[in-house]
Structure 1
């Protein structure tokens, strides 16, 4: 697929009087969503702290072009999207990825300049094989729910109890679940298939001069703790865990994740106020 398709990019400038001398932040969403997943939470939160914030929707997602060819979109297409957006920013960004987005961020940082990376409930460098085995053994009913989510027929076709268990904390309200489900979408079958292919060699060769934060979700039913620890080892950092569900950027209590990320950014990239 051509890299010249139109991409949706959400932008939040630093709040007036709060701008920091810090790199821009680039948020990369995971499967089944788009840039909108950051729109009411992380973007205003970090813009309020003085960061220049950007979030892209990958090809075929949300407001970006290519929905009609979504199942033909590859990991390579997504990586080109990420590189195209990052190179147009004023400086190499801190790239913040969730789930599939975290996997893309890790691949991107191996070849492209970045100021830092933050990996939130991220797919590990070797792909989704461990996750599939984990779900198949620990919660086969949720694996079935995830498959149903892939072939999502609209909010009325979802079991909200299963959706909450799969992606969120128990405190997530029915209203917010419905709002999420109404905007969610299928993911590229090709990209998911590529992620299921074992890629153990990608555990090696991470750019260890790049600051990295690895945050796992204690209530994650998709990315097992072992995968979070493996990602942290590959980056030679300690993994941290927050008591929240997999969809941590929209889950009830998302602020605790944002606060931990903000603390990390302030230490490494806070800049002069």
Structure 2
């Protein structure tokens, strides 16, 4: 059986964003899956048409939904996650439910205390209204251009917005923002396990939503483990890095890294 790879998207982006990665990984012999979050429909249009279906899920519920999928694959897969998907990938790895993880611009885990102004601004569409914790929230095209598409030509940012964006639950952002004040934060990850699989962080140097410094802070937390951990930084990239015109650079680098790990 070919080794399975499960791709996990983040807030506001549909799982279809992973199709180019799935095709590339499939050509390299991997069995790929890109399931959506709880309540997410198979298409962008259908998800937009019924946003209430995605409302209310938090980090634990989303992680558990993916854990059930992983458990049915016959063995721990590789997990590749972007943004909140990168946080979830770390949780699955730390639980021993994944053989390896790639976290691309991952949302901050508990213990990351760096809060750059651009991260706050990117989160305001949700955090500015407490009631959004129970709702599904959509970004405007202007908000997407700042939080995701700031390194792109305006036409490409607009095209990605129209093609891939969906409403997403507000709850994960509230959980991340309060994590360091909570004893049992859903965004907590066991960064001390020496027996976990290898972990790769990808940081984007011009990312407004998860600035590279936030990713590096997460990497430092994982230094408490002797397990293999690396970080690659892409100085000129933003939060769209895994699904904009330059996605192939990240995908190729990730495949090389997996090969070095014997995976």
The TM-score bracket by the shorter chain reads 0.7 to 0.9
Correspondence 1:42 to 2:25: no
Alpha-carbon offset, residue 125 of structure 1:
1.8
Checking the alignment, whether the CA contact within 8 Å between 2:94 and 2:189 is kept in structure 1 is: no
Task: Check if 1:134 corresponds to 2:116.
Answer: yes
Residue 78 of structure 2, aligned match among 72, 88, 94 = 94
CA distance in 2: counterparts of 1:127 and 1:44, whole angstroms: 36
Partner of residue 186, structure 1:
167
Structure 1 residue 168 displacement after superposition: 2.9
Could you tell me how far apart the structure 1 residues matched to 2:245 and 2:162 are? 15
Question: Where does structure 2 lack aligned partners over 5 or more consecutive residues?
Answer: 129-135, 224-228
Please show how residues 38-77 of structure 1 align to structure 2 within 5 Å: 38-39=18-19, 41-63=20-42, 67-77=51-61
Aligned to 1:152: 138
Give the drift of 1:123.
1.3
Report how far residue 232 of structure 1 moved: 1.3
Change (3 A) 1:175 1:97: closer
Shift, 1:112, TM fit: 3.6
- What is the aligned partner in structure 2 of residue 259 from structure 1? 252
Q: What residue in structure 1 maps to residue 204 of structure 2?
A: 217
Q: Of 83, 90, 105, which residue of structure 2 is paired with 1:106? A: 90
Moved more, 177-186 or 221-230: 177-186
Q: Which residue of 2 aligns with 1:3?
A: none
The structure-2 alpha-carbon separation of the partners of 1:172 and 1:46, relative to structure 1 and needing over 3 Å to count, comes to: farther
- Secondary structure of 1:185's counterpart equals coil
Listed one character per residue, the Cα deviations across residues 92-114 of structure 1 (whole Å, up to 9, x for unaligned) are: 10111111011111122222432
Q: Number of paired residues?
A: 239
Aligned-partner Cα distance in 2 for 1:168–1:128: 24
Runs of 4+ in 1 over 6 A off after TM superposition: 145-148
* Structure 2 counterpart of 1:235: 222
| Structure 1 residues not aligned, in runs of 5+ | 1-20
TM-score (normalised: structure 1): 0.75
